[in-house]
């Protein structure tokens, strides 16, 4: 009894402290100011394949139209309420014969382009769904599992304790009557989840499993030729640490040559150190088999290669059309200027101007995604007719 009281008191103090910290942080955060941008000033707008973007947007609209009109779309300054999206979504869903001309006209008719007034440039990377060999049963060759979500993993919604913490969650497990952080990557790799029948499939290489965790989904090709898609089911709640950063800091790979392919090559060349490197990222992802033909993002819609974007939903609403204007880090690559739809999130995608472009499934998609670390900016397409108290757009001009 006394132990329970002590734990409860400590938990209450923890939540109170967390509430104060988060409240102070939110109060201190500057509310961004936006400026209007004419469509015709977007570099490359008239050359894009708008039909592909509209097809992807229709998938988002299926979700937005199912939401009650008064549902809040986080962040409200851009997302507003679900009803703000209903008119444009209904019109978009009614477009049956999608051509680039029709799609372009649709976006120009139903949306206004806005951009941040300041702090407009950021980092844009790529991701994909890899395809690896796997087996339904463990063997000497296949002995690295993908795990399903454990039953003892608990997600605590802090909004249940304080309105100031609405939308904030922590992940852990209960041990000896206390709620504690969940197991990290090292503990799980060392067998902490064995004998729970959580294994979904077995892989040949631990680095295959590791990169599946980073990408969040992937295709497994079985020995009999069958292929099955596995997608994100949850995570252990530990912070994501990009292992490429450690390789740069140690001088193993230069910043200019850093890519997913470079990391994998380093692991192949240094198998004894590879495990320790992976453990520097304590974040661990759990999976579920999917019946869809394409990976499903955080918005619960199938992702579209080259047209789906992973964002930090604290700054960009899921479902929003976003115009990209990106400059590659290599002279051989072309600038990326296209309309995409925010439909996913990612553990490494944090910040006001930070996003991940989805490129598809398999090795070719990996060649697009792996080296990508472009600098650039994005522009938001906001539905026309939004209430002025939801989105304040200063009357200002933007120099391209």
Contacts of 96 (CB under 8 A, 6+ apart): none
Residue with tokens 């090292």: 186
| CB-based contact 261:369 (threshold 8 Å) | no
d(Cα 21, Cα 310) in Å, to the nearest integer?
Answer: 27
Coil vs helix vs strand at 170: strand
156: its two tokens: 């605590």
Instruction: Report which DSSP code applies to 39.
Output: G
Q: Mind listing the domains of the chain with CATH numbers? A: 1-30+153-182 (no CATH), 38-149+198-241+281-400 (2.40.40.10)
Q: Provide the residue count of the chain.
A: 400
**Chain mean position to CA 295:** 12
d(Cα 209, Cα 214) in Å, to the nearest integer?
Answer: 9
d(Cα 365, Cα 212) in Å, to the nearest integer?
Answer: 14
Contacts of 101 (CB under 8 A, 6+ apart): none
Contacts of 336 (CB under 8 A, 6+ apart): 124, 324, 325, 326, 328, 357, 374, 376
| CB-based contact 349:295 (threshold 8 Å) | no
Q: Residue 356's CB: how many other CB atoms inside 10 A? A: 25
| CB-based contact 280:241 (threshold 8 Å) | yes
Q: Residue 259's CB: how many other CB atoms inside 10 A? A: 20
| CB-based contact 173:153 (threshold 8 Å) | yes
Sign of CA dihedral 86, 58, 320, 26: positive
Helix (H) or strand (E) holding 230: strand 227-235
Helix-helix angle 271-279:260-269, to 10 degrees: 130
Instruction: Report which DSSP code applies to 31.
Output: P
Helix-helix angle 271-279:206-215, to 10 degrees: 30
Considering only the C-alpha atoms of the chain, give the largest distance between any 2 of them, rounded to a whole number of Å: 71
Is the model's pTM score more than 0.95? no
| CB-based contact 121:379 (threshold 8 Å) | no
At residue 83, the pLDDT reads: 94
28: its two tokens: 């201190």
H helices present in the chain, as ranges: 2-28, 50-64, 76-79, 83-93, 100-110, 185-187, 206-215, 243-249, 260-269, 271-279, 363-369
At residue 293, the pLDDT reads: 78
User: pLDDT tens across 159-205, in order?
Assistant: 888 888 877 889 999 999 999 999 999 999 999 999 999 999 999 99
Residues of the chain under the 50 pLDDT cut: 1-29, 387-390, 394-400
Query: Residue 75, preceding bond cis, omega within 30 degrees?
Result: yes
């Amino acid at each position: 009894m006394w132990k329970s009281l002590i734990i409860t008191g400590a938990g209450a103090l923890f939540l109170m402290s967390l509430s104060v910290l988060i409240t102070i942080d939110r109060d201190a955060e500057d509310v961004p100011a936006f400026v209007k941008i004419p469509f015709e000033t977007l570099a490359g707008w008239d050359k894009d394949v708008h039909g592909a973007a509209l097809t992807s947007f229709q998938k988002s609209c299926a979700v937005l139209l199912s939401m009650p009109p008064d549902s809040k779309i986080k962040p409200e300054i851009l997302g507003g309420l679900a009803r703000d999206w209903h008119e444009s979504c209904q019109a978009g869903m009614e477009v049956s014969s999608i051509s680039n001309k029709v799609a372009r006209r649709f976006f120009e008719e139903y949306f206004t382009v806005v951009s941040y007034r300041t702090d407009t440039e950021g980092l844009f990377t790529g991701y994909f769904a890899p395809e690896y060999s796997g087996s339904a049963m463990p063997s000497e060759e296949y002995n690295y599992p993908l795990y399903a979500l454990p039953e003892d993993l608990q997600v605590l919604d802090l909004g249940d304790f304080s309105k100031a913490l609405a939308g904030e969650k922590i992940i852990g497990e209960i041990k000896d009557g206390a709620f504690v952080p969940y197991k990290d990557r090292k503990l799980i790799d060392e067998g902490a989840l064995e004998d729970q029948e959580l294994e979904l499939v077995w892989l040949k290489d631990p680095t295959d499993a590791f990169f599946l965790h980073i990408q969040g989904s992937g295709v497994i090709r079985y020995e009999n030729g069958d292929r099955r898609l596995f997608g994100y089911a949850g995570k252990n709640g530990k912070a994501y640490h990009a292992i490429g950063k450690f390789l740069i800091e140690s001088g193993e790979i230069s910043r200019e040559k850093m890519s997913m392919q470079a990391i994998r090559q380093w692991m192949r060349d240094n198998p004894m150190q590879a495990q320790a490197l992976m453990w520097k990222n304590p974040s661990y992802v759990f999976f579920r088999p999917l019946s869809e033909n394409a990976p499903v993002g955080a918005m619960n819609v199938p992702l579209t290669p080259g047209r789906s974007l992973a964002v930090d939903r604290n700054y960009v609403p899921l479902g929003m059309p976003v115009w990209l204007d990106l400059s590659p880090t290599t002279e051989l690559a072309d600038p990326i200027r296209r309309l995409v739809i925010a439909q996913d999130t990612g553990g490494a995608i944090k910040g006001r101007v930070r996003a991940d472009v989805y490129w598809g499934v398999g090795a070719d998609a990996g060649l697009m995604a792996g080296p990508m670390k472009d600098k650039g900016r994005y522009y938001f397409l906001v539905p026309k007719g939004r209430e002025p108290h939801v989105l304040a757009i200063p009357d200002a001009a933007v120099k391209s």
